[in-house]
Structure 1
Amino acid sequence: MNWQEIKKTAREKLKPYCRVCPVCNGIACAGEVPGMGGVGTGSSFKANVEALNRIKLNLSTIHDVKEPETAIEIFGQNLSLPVMAAPITGTTYNMGGAITEEVYCEEVIAGSLMAGTIGWTGDGADPTMYGSGISAIKKNNGKGVPIIKPRAQEEIIKRIRQAEDAGAIAVGVDIDGAGLITMALKGQPVSPKSPKEIEELVKATELPFILKGIMTLKEAEIAYNLGVKAIVVSNHGGRILDHTPGVADVLPEITEKLKGKITIIADGGVRSGVDVLKLLALGADAVLIGRPVVVAVFGGGRDGLKLYFENIKNELKQAMLLTGVASVKSVPKTILRF
């Protein structure tokens, strides 16, 4: 099994929800929500990819780096690479249903662990979606991160307890899901959260609490001041608000002020190990990858995901070798050319 074979199989299983384009850039699927596209014009999805593409790397081969180190520690876990699987749900109405929610979650968690990293699971309009992720995490000794939609406080706390019971390594809320159409259509109300409500959630658990969907320095600082342990700089894959900037455009503003104070994870438009290195150079501690993980799992299950992450790791090491970066824990911004 190779990546091209995985993509071919995925293309058949995901048809017509995802075309598995040669370049996953949001052009062909613009406006397809539900589906795999970006909301409205698809501008926000495309902006993630374009923001990364505008950044170039300075080639450097006169240095002492011989064997780049890609391992990191996050949430008390040692990972072989600074990349994790993003939380994605809706295998039926977003991906066609060739794989059930339960199987998808199991393959993401197991495949991520096989590659030496961690899978995140999500929440959705069907309450069983969150349960599928919790079940997969529990089966794998808690090695996963469940993310909850910004529901009513009591509903979130109930799901936090499920995460705790599963032994999850961390838990969080994708606060940018506040306006998701599919949640409203299915009678699952979501809404923005006040600082007081966020603080209540942080204090409701001993697990590291994550806020996913931060796109401004102001909100990153609010999260930090409220005791949030990690933020994910993300526009929800461009699926919730048209015409936002790309993640790589806003990330430097946040990392310049908060690097080292709070764990900063970037999520949006990552398609290669080179993209990973760019985001690390912009100050991210780690990266999430979404849509390509769907392709890997639909095309090859947990083995396909393991292969995908191994490819990303190899690309990352190659890029580090050719830019003089010894460790992903310290990637200088000077390797970038804007």
Structure 2
Amino acid sequence: MDLQTIRSQAKEKLKGYCRVCPVCDGRACSGEVPGMGGTGTGISFRNNLTALASYSLNMRTLHGAKDPSTETELFGVKLSSPIMAAPMTGTPYNMGGALTEREFIGMIVSGSKQAGTLGWTGDGADPAMYTSGLEAISAEEGFGIPIIKPREQKVIIECIRRAEAAGAKAVGVDIDGAGLVTMALKGQPVGPKTMEEIQELVNSTQLPFILKGIMTVDEAEQAVKAGVSAIVVSNHGGRILDCTPGAADVLPAIAAAVKGKVTILADGGVRTGVDVLKLLALGADGVLVGRPLVVGAFGGGAEGVKMLLDKMAAELKQAMILTGCSTIQEIDQRVIYKA
């Protein structure tokens, strides 16, 4: 199997939902929600990519970083790289239904584990979405992280209990899903949470608790006060609110405020290992990848997911050699070019 085959097969299965563009920048699919695009004008989707592209790197070759290690540890799990699969659901609604929800998320979690990293799973208006993710995690001996929509407190806590039973390595809420109309239309209301409500969720479990969808310094600081183990700097792939900045735009200020107090993860617009390097240099401890792995799953199953994760890890290692970083922990702001 090669990348061209994966893309060709994915394009056929995703016909009418994702064009598998040569450059996945959201231009062709602006406003296609449901679908793979960004909400409204699609600018939030595109801002993720343009924010990353705005950073240049300092190339360094006079050093001893000849064989860098991409290994890291997150949530008590040793990983081959800091690159993980982002939580994604809605295969029938957003991706055309050529795969079932269970088949798709099984490929994501299994392929991630085969690549030596973690696959995250999601939640949605159809209860089968969350259940499918838990089944996939359980099948891989707990090697995954389920993320729950910001539902009513008692419902979230019930979902956390199920995550614990599945052996998940951590659990969390994508707070940026607070405005999802589809959830309310199907009788499953979601909404913002107060700091006290987040504290209740954190205290309800012994698992590391993750808050996904943080885009401002003040909310990052509130998350730390609430006791979360990790935050994900994310605008939900540009699918929630039009005209938000890209994750890489806001990450440096958030990292300056809370780095070392909480694990910082980031997603949005990640297409290569060089993108991963940039987010790590800007303050992230780990990175989530979404849309490229949809292509991997639809075009090559778990093997396709593994192949793309391995490819990004190899690109990250090459970029580390050329920026003088022997370990993930050595990647910092000195990597970023400042005029």
* TM-score bin (small chain): over 0.9
- What amino acid sits opposite 2:277 in the alignment? L
- What is the Cα deviation at residue 194 of structure 1? 0.8
Corresponding position of 1:213: 213
Runs of 5+ in structure 1 lacking a partner? none
Give deviations 1:166-213, integer Å, cap 9, x for gaps.
010100000000001322332221100011111110111110000000
1:143 aligns with 2:143: yes
Give the aligned CA root-mean-square deviation in angstroms. 0.8
Q: Tell me if the contact between 1:124 and 1:183 (Cα under 8 Å) persists in the aligned partners.
A: yes
For residues 93 and 278 of structure 2, the distance between their equivalents in structure 1, rounded to whole angstroms, comes to 33
Corresponding position of 2:161: 161
Give deviations 1:251-297, integer Å, cap 9, x for gaps.
00011121111000001100000000000000100000000111100
For residues 182 and 292 of structure 2, the distance between their equivalents in structure 1, rounded to whole angstroms, comes to 22
Corresponding position of 1:36: 36
- What is the Cα deviation at residue 311 of structure 1? 0.5
For residues 31 and 86 of structure 1, the distance between their equivalents in structure 2, rounded to whole angstroms, comes to 21
Helix, strand or coil at the partner of 2:329:
coil
Aligned residues: 338
For residues 134 and 329 of structure 1, the distance between their equivalents in structure 2, rounded to whole angstroms, comes to 31
Corresponding position of 2:109: 109
Runs of 5+ in structure 2 lacking a partner? none
Corresponding position of 1:95: 95
Q: Tell me if the contact between 1:31 and 1:37 (Cα under 8 Å) persists in the aligned partners.
A: yes
1:325 aligns with 2:325: yes
Corresponding position of 1:243: 243
Q: Tell me if the contact between 1:320 and 1:326 (Cα under 8 Å) persists in the aligned partners.
A: yes
Higher mean C-alpha displacement, 310-319 vs 181-190: 181-190
TM-score, normalising length from structure 2?
Answer: 0.99
Helix, strand or coil at the partner of 1:264:
strand
TM-score, normalising length from structure 1?
Answer: 0.99
For residues 223 and 47 of structure 2, the distance between their equivalents in structure 1, rounded to whole angstroms, comes to 24
- What amino acid sits opposite 2:294 in the alignment? V
For residues 5 and 305 of structure 1, the distance between their equivalents in structure 2, rounded to whole angstroms, comes to 13
Corresponding position of 1:174: 174
For residues 221 and 92 of structure 1, the distance between their equivalents in structure 2, rounded to whole angstroms, comes to 37
1:68 aligns with 2:68: yes
For residues 184 and 37 of structure 1, the distance between their equivalents in structure 2, rounded to whole angstroms, comes to 21
Helix, strand or coil at the partner of 1:106:
helix
For residues 47 and 333 of structure 1, the distance between their equivalents in structure 2, rounded to whole angstroms, comes to 21
1:281 aligns with 2:281: yes
Helix, strand or coil at the partner of 2:94:
coil
For residues 63 and 6 of structure 2, the distance between their equivalents in structure 1, rounded to whole angstroms, comes to 37
Helix, strand or coil at the partner of 1:56:
coil
Q: Tell me if the contact between 1:35 and 1:95 (Cα under 8 Å) persists in the aligned partners.
A: yes
For residues 283 and 332 of structure 2, the distance between their equivalents in structure 1, rounded to whole angstroms, comes to 9
Helix, strand or coil at the partner of 2:243:
coil
Corresponding position of 1:313: 313
For residues 39 and 337 of structure 1, the distance between their equivalents in structure 2, rounded to whole angstroms, comes to 32
For residues 280 and 196 of structure 1, the distance between their equivalents in structure 2, rounded to whole angstroms, comes to 30
For residues 295 and 185 of structure 2, the distance between their equivalents in structure 1, rounded to whole angstroms, comes to 26
- What is the Cα deviation at residue 326 of structure 1? 1.0
1:85 aligns with 2:85: yes
Helix, strand or coil at the partner of 1:8:
helix
Give deviations 1:52-95, integer Å, cap 9, x for gaps.
00101111111111101100000110000110000000000000
Corresponding position of 2:258: 258
- What amino acid sits opposite 1:210 in the alignment? I
- What is the Cα deviation at residue 133 of structure 1? 0.3
- What amino acid sits opposite 2:74 in the alignment? I
1:52 aligns with 2:28: no
- 1:283-302 aligned at under 5 Å gives the runs 283-302=283-302
For residues 230 and 45 of structure 1, the distance between their equivalents in structure 2, rounded to whole angstroms, comes to 23
Q: Tell me if the contact between 1:34 and 1:182 (Cα under 8 Å) persists in the aligned partners.
A: no
Helix, strand or coil at the partner of 1:92:
helix
For residues 184 and 245 of structure 1, the distance between their equivalents in structure 2, rounded to whole angstroms, comes to 26
- What is the Cα deviation at residue 137 of structure 1? 0.6
Helix, strand or coil at the partner of 2:255:
helix
